[in-house]
Structure 1
Amino acid sequence: MKANSQDQRKVIWVALGGLLCFLASQWYRSSASSDLIISGYPVLTLLGGFVAAAACIGIYNQSWLFQTQKLTLRRVLITTLFLLIGLFELIHIVSYAEEVPSGAMMESEFSLKMMTLGSVVCTAGLLLIYVVREKEIALPRKFLLFSGTLGTFIMLYTLGVQEWIWLPKLTEEGLLSGTFTRIHLLTGLLCGITAVVLFLKWKKGKDGDLPSILCGALCFFYGEGYLVSAAEVNDLNLLFAMWMNCMGYFFIQKGLYTTVVDTPFLKQQAAEAKMNYIAHHDDVTGLPNRRRLSQRLRTLLDDAVEQEQLVGVLVLNINRFKTINDSLGQQAANRVLRQVGQRLKHSSLPGEEVYGLGRDEFVITMTDFWTTENALRRTRSILQLFEKPVMVDGNDYHITLGIGIAIYPHDGGSPEEIIQNADTALHNAKEQGIELNRYAHAMQMKAQERLQLENDLRKALDRGQFYLVYQPQINLASGMIVGMEALVRWQHPQRGPISPAEFIPLAEESGLIVPLGEWVLREACAQNKLWQEAGYRKLCVSVNLSMRQFRHSHLLDNISGILRETGLEPVWLELEITESMTFDKDRAFEQLRKIKEIGVHISIDDFGTGYSSLHYLKDLPIDRLKIDRSFVNEVMEDSNNAAIVSTITSMAHHLQLKVTAEGVENEAQLLFLRDQHCHEAQGYFFSKPIVAADFEKRFLRDVDKPTG
């Protein structure tokens, strides 16, 4: 980040303001009355001394506001330096008072030595810190750092009080000696050199804290100027120097705040914005993608219920796009997609939003209409937009679209259902060879099948038709199994295996997910305890929590009761939640905190597919982030997915969370995740979810022999 005009103005104001203050103070000093000096000097000096000591200790404390796994060398050295200076300032001020025969109070010889030592250490330390090469270091132990700093202070303090070693007397009968002047003259020169070094580094634009640190160095430089100009022990220049140093400490603290708080926060905001943009926008057209569509459509449907309005969803597809792709090539085909997306976006009316679903599909949501006929009329006008050709590489190409439309609430009750029904209408239109088709219930008999399936679902738990399968979780560093995820399956007596994607949403909507979730939790805990009692190595079992379960008032009692009933220790259970469960922050935080208190681990499943504010994610009582399989599946083909995985992994490391990648299917994905320092992974590359007996044989019995 290059030096900006605001920082330049700040430095110029400090430089000129300090010079003007110096000149004005010298004029005032020459005209000040002795009464003012005698009556006001000690109080102002004591006040300034305590402010200086407090500022130095504040700098030390601020350095530890945010502790990560690694700190910079500069930050650790500044922490040590200003703790040391703070001790000198404190000793300086508590040893200040010395009564003279006239009854006045003035600086003692010892006090001046402490002040001088503090000035020398401050100037030399700052110069050293900004001359040495900056690098990251491991987090040091705070106790050892404090002890080392205290030991250094005691050593310098001991040398300072021994006149015959290196520091002779600084006063002679109330006057400041030539030694005092020479020491502070050299210290002032060092301050000037430090300011030049900081200015040169600032011009290179490497660090955002340098302008404030430079202002602090300038204040120290003027402070030394006051000390060089001082003649007597009770000279006002000593007071002016102290208050100028206080200003220097203020600027140092401000610069450190920039390093510790502002810069990391801005980087975190940028990473969050980048991750959210990539996760919610199509990389070819730049339009909002399916994830954003689902979120937005849910809001539109909720608003439509309150306002009794209609919501239309149009799914658009470019006809014969594969031919365009094969004949023009991928890059030219992408330019066609971008032009189609821009034409749809620029022609959209109030109440319409355009989304890109990838490949050759787009979605338009419509809200500003009152009848189905209005929606169909608007849809036909969209088709007319492409009567004009699109231009690619100087050539005109005529394209046509197919459109399927579904209208809420007539054609579905949820975002997923509306999108699916519009897509069904589109495919039906293509089969019939027409451009536009509205969804009709006669296109498929899903409603009856859905009702029958829900009835069967209510009986399935009592009839023992559910069973669990387990998928191993592998540590990428060691290659060893470290856990397993328990997943529920339904074996229908007539239809055979029912996909979880089909019966889980039904269970959610009907409320059956709560008893089903309790059964899964109890079964998983019991099985894990059986394996532990058989002598196998202890592993953590992960169980998914549904939204209804998470919001259930008796969730904590149910978890505690199941753990007592099965005898499984809480540490061997991990509960998986989704990002959407944390939208109600206060309620979610309280629920998670209670779960953590009993010793159960918590992870966020399918991370990256929802919206997580990093501002409160860092405070969530969680242990792990699970990267959604949709990012992992194409991590080697899609640079955006690779960027998302890398960003999530890096962020988790900084938040000191574990990371598990889902959906690993090949060795290339595994190697990529390992390079990103992802902790664990699961997926078909290791094993598909398998029943308990097969899991025991493959991952427990043949790997870890029973010990008892």
Structure 2
Amino acid sequence: MRSSSRLFATYAAASLLPVVALGALLLQDYRGDAAAQGREQGLAQAEVIARMVIAPVLNSGGSSTLGDADLSRRGLTAEQFERMREATQIAVYDGSVQHLRVRGFTGRVIFSDDGSTGSGVPVSDPDFRSAASGHPQARVVTGRTRTIRVMRPLFLNTGQSVGVLEVYLPYQRIDDRLQAQLVHTSKRIAGGLVALYLVLGLLAWWTTRSLSRYAADQRHNALHDALTGLPNLAAFRTWAEAGLAESLRDGQPGAVVLVDLNRFKEVNDTLGHHAGDELLRIVADRFRARLGERDILARLGGDEFALFLPGRTGPEAVALLAKIRERLSEEMVLDGVPLSIEASFGIALFPEHGGRLEELKQRADIAMYQGKRGTADIVVYSGDGIGHSHQWLVVQAELRHALERGELVLHYQPKVNLADGEVRALEALVRWQHPQRGLVPPGDFLPAAEHSGLIVPLTEWVLRRALTDQVGWSAAGQQWAVSVNVSARNLEVPGFPELVANLLAETGTPARRLVLEVTETALAGDGEAAARVIGEIAALGVGISVDDFGAGYTSLSHLREVPVDEIKIDRGFVSDVIDDPRSRAIVRSVIELAHGLGSRATAEGVETAEIYRWLVEAGCDEAQGYLIGRPVPWPQVAPEFEVPKTVSEAEGAVR
């Protein structure tokens, strides 16, 4: 609010200056107009004097006199002089004229109302010369009083110029009238400008308040999860690091806790994502009900939460989490279905288990996964480094050697254009050719890679191998793009966009021929950081695809932040479009959303001709699945897919 007030004060002061300047300019212009109006009145009055008083006298002389072109030589007859004196006395007496002279072109005073023959405007004066040449001039002059001085040529009835009329008219009455008009106009201008300033001030106040609220909303959205309103990963990292530093400085214990909901995916798959979203909101509320003021609760993404519990010992943290677990497990009703939720808690204590937040999170993660695979759902890190099952540790060690020995292979699944069945791209899917266990599917080793950091070199290997293979099929005449999956950890690694750029340059692959598939959960964590990295990659010309859309928790704001070329609809919805009206509605909505974002909509898990034809009618762009082709080495991919006309043909293709 204070910054908003400062902004308003600055805006108000800044807008006052041009308003005042505008007022001064308008008044100055009006004063100039008033002076011009005074001169015009002086010229008009001098015109009347010249025509009605002077000209009749000059035209009353003899023929010889009338023929002289200059009053300096011609002069006035006694009769003319007397008539002019009588005529001008009336004007001088009633105050309409202060002083009057009739002069020849040489400057000689032929007649003066006071009988003087000297002084007057010099012949060299520009106004005198202008009047002598036939052009009247008026000027406001200042002496003891302000006076209008008019220099006007004198003409005979024949149109011949014979001299100059020098007349001084009182300016006070004109000035008083103009001043009265000026005061009246100034008040109106001032009133208008004050009203304008008040309107500008009101607009400034409203704008600054709106900007302040918008900035506050943006700050809040950048640090909070849109679904639950909880702090997100970025906020948790910032606030927990500050709290950890303070606790360590004061010698206070505490705990970092990671929480993962058990069987949450079953709720999504059974009741739909709207029920899953409602479940997460209920879980967040139940968490809040048991936490203290200093405790920090955050949603890291998906069904994973984090807690920072300062000032609590290990037993105190376990006791608190037991109460939270009890509250979480209370029955709730979603879509008319009663259910209860369970969770796994992993605890890392400080300073016992470390003094850095990332170190504590890693150890809490180990403890949490140990609980998921054991009998206890609240597990304190044991300090021996054992968290996941022994089998995971074995997989991680063997996978590291597999990378070194070249045991990994890539299979490719085609993505086809739904309209004509033409293959448009291949998705690279990694397989492990284990020397003893044969071909190991990704589900058996990718989770271990994700939690050990091996996902980073593994993704680099997949990218390099896929781009190399793409060079091979391009040489064979196939212009297919290649899609490669990347994880949230890849987006967190510094220099990942540079790695992609270097691999493209190394293999000579055009950037447009590479598509990186990012899961929704990668965007749901630290969305701002992920969007920044994705933006850098997209700037290279690489396509960006959102994988498994609908299975994660990406908000629409995340999609707005990243340049998306493709949205892949999760197979869980695609497989049910024939029998489930809600799945059909969701798939249609995702297709419309993709097209609204200027992206392609690609359906995953297409296994029947009936689904294929429905997707065509729904306007989906591309598809992949067992109906189209199973993952195989790239030389075995057929360049075209023959769209089956019947369900039996589809079943045969899948078999």
With structure 1 as the length reference, what TM-score do the two structures score?
Answer: 0.43
Higher strand share: 2
Structure of larger gyration radius: 2
Higher helix share: 1
